[in-house]
Structure 1
Amino acid sequence: MSPMPKIYVAGHRGMVGSAIVRTLLGQGVRSQDIITRTHAELDLTNQAEVRAFFAAERPEQVYLAAARVGGIHANNTYPAEFIYDNLMIEANVVDAAFRAGVRKLLFLGSSCIYPKLAPQPIAEGALLTGTLEPTNEPYAVAKIAGIKLCESYNRQYGVDYRSVMPTNLYGPGDNYHPENSHVIPALIRRFHEAKSANVPVVTVWGSGTPMREFLYVDDMAAASVHVMNLDKSRYDQHTQPMLSHINVGCGYDITIRELAETVARVTGFSGKIEFDASKPDGTPRKLMDSSRLNALGWQAKVSLEEGLSAAYRDFVEIQLPRS
C-alpha cells in the first residue's frame, strides 16, 4: 500500500458512506484520493458497468457501503428489491474489485444477519445458528451472502476482504421518509411535525418494550476506517477464516419507549406518547457483543442524547432550510 492509497467509497451519498468520506478527510486523506460515483454515474447492480469502472480506476481500498436499506415497512413491502439489489451490488463490487487487483475491501453488513432469538449480547459466532427475523429476512440473507463472499475470496485468492456488522445506525444524512425510514429518523420526523402542528399525542408503532442498541453514524465510520487499516496479523488474531466479520456497537441498549421519550425531549415535543401494540415489534432484543472490536482498540464516543441532538439539527436543516 502507498502512503496515500486510492480509496473507492461505494455509496458515498448514503448516511454511512458520507460519514466514511468525512472521517477519511478528517484523518488527512486528500479529496483527490477518494473515488466516488453517484447512482446515475455508476449502477452497481450492473456487472458490466462495475467491471469497467474498476478496470479504469484501479482503487487500492474499497469501502462497500452501498446498499438498499429501509425499516420494517419497507422490508415487508419490497422484499424482492431488498434481496435482489443487495445481492447484485455486493457480488458485482467484490468480484470486480478482485479482478482489478484490489487487496483490501471492507463490506458493511447489518446486525439483522443474526437469529431473531440469538443469545444476548450477540457474538459473531451466532451467525447461522437460528431463524432470522421474518420481516427483514430477504435483506438479512443478502447481507449474510456478502460476508460469505468476502470469506470465500479470502480463502480462495488470499485477498484481505473484511466485514463489519453495525448495530442500528442513525445520524446526519439519514432517511426521513414517513413510511420507509428506520425507527430513529421516523420518530424524529413524527415528533417534530407533532410539535410544529401542536398535536397533543404521538403514536409509536409496537408495544415499546423491545430493546435496541443505537450507534451514531460517525462512530460507525471511525470504526470502519479503524478496521480497514488494522495490521492483518492483528486483525486475524481476533477473527477466523470462517468467522471473519466483526460487530460494531456502543455496548448498551434501551427500550423503544425510552428511545421515544428521549427523541421527544430532544425535539421539544411535550405532549403524550402512546404505543400501538397491534403493530409489529420485530426482534425482542438486539444488543451486539463488540468485545472483539474493543480489543482491537476502538470504542464508541458519541452518547445517544448527543447523537440524537446532532441528528435533529441535521433534520431541521434539511427540512427547513434557512433563507
Structure 2
Amino acid sequence: MAKSLSNGKNIILVTGGSGLVGQALKKMAAEENRQDEEWFFAASSDADLTDRDQTRKLFEKVGPTHVIHLAAMVGGLFKNLKYNLDFYRKNILINDNVLQTSHERGVKKVVSCLSTCIFPDKTTYPINETMIHDGPPHSSNFGYAYAKRMIDVQNRAYNQQYGSNFTAIIPTNVFGPHDNYNLEDSHVIPGLIHKCYIAKRDGTPLTIWGTGKPLRQFIYSDDLARLIIWTLRDYPEIDPIILSVDEQAEISIKDAAEMVVAAMDFKGQVIYDSTKSDGQFKKTASNDKLRKYLPNFQFTQIEKAIKESCDWFVKNYDVARK
C-alpha cells in the first residue's frame, strides 16, 4: 500500500521527471518548498516503465502516495508518421504498468498527461473534454493518440471497479526550457529555436517546414506545471481537463516563427518549405472547464515565454537535448 512519511508528508512520484514538464514541476516544487510534500522525479535511468517488474521496483523504492504520470514515447510529426506501431505499443505498456502498479500500491491519486492530438481529426471546434472518443484521430499519429486515449478509458474503469482517483490532463502544445530540440523529432517551438540558432551561427537561411499557416495554442511549461500541481491537489473529477491558454491566444506557426526570429535577433532570410507536410491544420481547444475552476489564472505572455526559452537554449546549448 502507499505509505506516507512518519511526519505525514505526501510523496509525489513524477514519471518522465527529467523532461520538459518534469523540469518545470521540479522548479515549481522547489519554489513552493511545501513541508507537507516530498517529490521524486524519476528519469528513464531509474526504471524502464515498459517493464512491469522495473515499474514495481520503482514504486517500492519511492513509496508514492500520489503520482504525476508524464513518461511516454514522444516525438514530432515526422517521427510519428514513421513509427505509429512503436508509439502505440510502448505507450500502452508504460501506461498500463504505471496505472496498475498505482492501483496495487493504493496510490491516492494519479494525474496522467494526455495530448490534444488524441481528439478526432474530423470534428467541430473548439474541441472539449467530452469529444475525445467521438471519431478516429489524425492518421499521422494514430498510434500515439489511441494509446493516450486508453488512459482515459482505464481511469474510468479503475474508478468504476475500485473507486480509484485516477484522472488526466490534456495540455495544448507545451514548450519551454529543457525541451527536446532534436530536429528530427522535436515539436514546433523547440525545433524553430534550434533551427534559428544554427542559421544565425552559420549565416544560412532559416528554413521552416510547411507553409506556416497551421494554428496552435502554445502553453509555457512553467504555466503548465502550476496547473498540474493544482490538478493534483484540488481538481475533483475523474474526467479529463484541458489545460490550455484561451482560444483567442491561438497563433499560427508563422507567428511563432517570427517571435523566435525576434527573440534570437536573427537577421537572415526565412524560407517556408511548402513541400513538407503541415500536419493537422488546427486543433483549437476550449479551456472553459479550466476557467470555471480558475477564472483568474494568468498565463505568461507568449513573447516573454519564447524569449525565456530561446535564452535558455543559447545559454545551455552544449547540454540541451538535441
TM-score (normalizing by structure 1): 0.91
Shift of 1:7: 0.9
Question: Mapping of 1:304-319 within 5 angstroms?
Answer: 304-319=302-317
For residue 261 of structure 1, the aligned residue among 237, 258, 261 is 258
Question: Mapping of 1:17-166 within 5 angstroms?
Answer: 17-29=22-34, 33-166=38-171
One-letter code aligned to 2:267: S
After superposition, give the CA deviation of every residue in 1:196-236 in whole Å (9 maximum; x if it has no partner): 1122x3221111111111000111111111011116xxx24
One-letter code aligned to 1:216: Y
Match for residue 244 of structure 2? 249
Q: Residues 186, 31 of structure 1: CA spacing in aligned structure 2 closer, same or farther, 3 A cutoff?
A: farther
Match for residue 285 of structure 1? 282
Distance 2:96 2:185 in 1: 25
Distance 1:108 1:282 in 2: 22
Shift of 1:81: 2.3
Distance 2:276 2:148 in 1: 26
Q: Mean alpha-carbon deviation: is it higher for 268-277 or for 31-40?
A: 31-40
Shift of 1:280: 0.9
- Please state whether the residue corresponding to 2:234 is helix, strand or coil: coil
Shift of 1:320: 4.8
Shift of 1:3: 5.6
For residue 196 of structure 2, the aligned residue among 191, 200, 205 is 191
One-letter code aligned to 2:13: Y
Q: Percent same amino acid among aligned pairs?
A: 30
Shift of 1:25: 2.2
- Please state whether the residue corresponding to 2:127 is helix, strand or coil: coil
CA-atom RMSD in angstroms: 1.9
User: Gaps spanning 5+ residues in structure 2: where?
Assistant: none
Distance 2:92 2:202 in 1: 42
Distance 1:31 1:188 in 2: 38
Shift of 1:261: 1.1
Match for residue 226 of structure 1? 230
Preserved CA contact (<8 Å) 1:9 1:21: no
- Please state whether the residue corresponding to 1:83 is helix, strand or coil: helix
- Please state whether the residue corresponding to 1:68 is helix, strand or coil: coil
One-letter code aligned to 2:209: W
- Please state whether the residue corresponding to 2:272 is helix, strand or coil: strand
One-letter code aligned to 2:195: R
Distance 1:17 1:304 in 2: 20
Aligned residues: 311
Preserved CA contact (<8 Å) 1:248 1:288: no
One-letter code aligned to 2:160: R
Q: Residues 317, 31 of structure 1: CA spacing in aligned structure 2 closer, same or farther, 3 A cutoff?
A: farther
One-letter code aligned to 1:76: L
Q: Residues 93, 282 of structure 1: CA spacing in aligned structure 2 closer, same or farther, 3 A cutoff?
A: same
One-letter code aligned to 2:245: C
Q: Mean alpha-carbon deviation: is it higher for 298-307 or for 287-296?
A: 298-307
One-letter code aligned to 2:227: A
Q: Residues 167, 32 of structure 1: CA spacing in aligned structure 2 closer, same or farther, 3 A cutoff?
A: closer
Distance 1:81 1:29 in 2: 39
Shift of 1:28: 2.1
Distance 1:226 1:191 in 2: 35
Shift of 1:126: 1.6
One-letter code aligned to 2:122: L
Distance 2:251 2:123 in 1: 17
One-letter code aligned to 2:126: P
Q: Mean alpha-carbon deviation: is it higher for 112-121 or for 29-38?
A: 29-38
Distance 2:51 2:245 in 1: 35
User: Gaps spanning 5+ residues in structure 1: where?
Assistant: none
- Please state whether the residue corresponding to 2:184 is helix, strand or coil: coil
Shift of 1:103: 1.5
Are 2:13 and 1:8 equivalent residues in the alignment?
A: yes
Q: Residues 104, 283 of structure 1: CA spacing in aligned structure 2 closer, same or farther, 3 A cutoff?
A: same
After superposition, give the CA deviation of every residue in 1:107-135 in whole Å (9 maximum; x if it has no partner): 01111011123222211112121231111
Shift of 1:271: 2.1
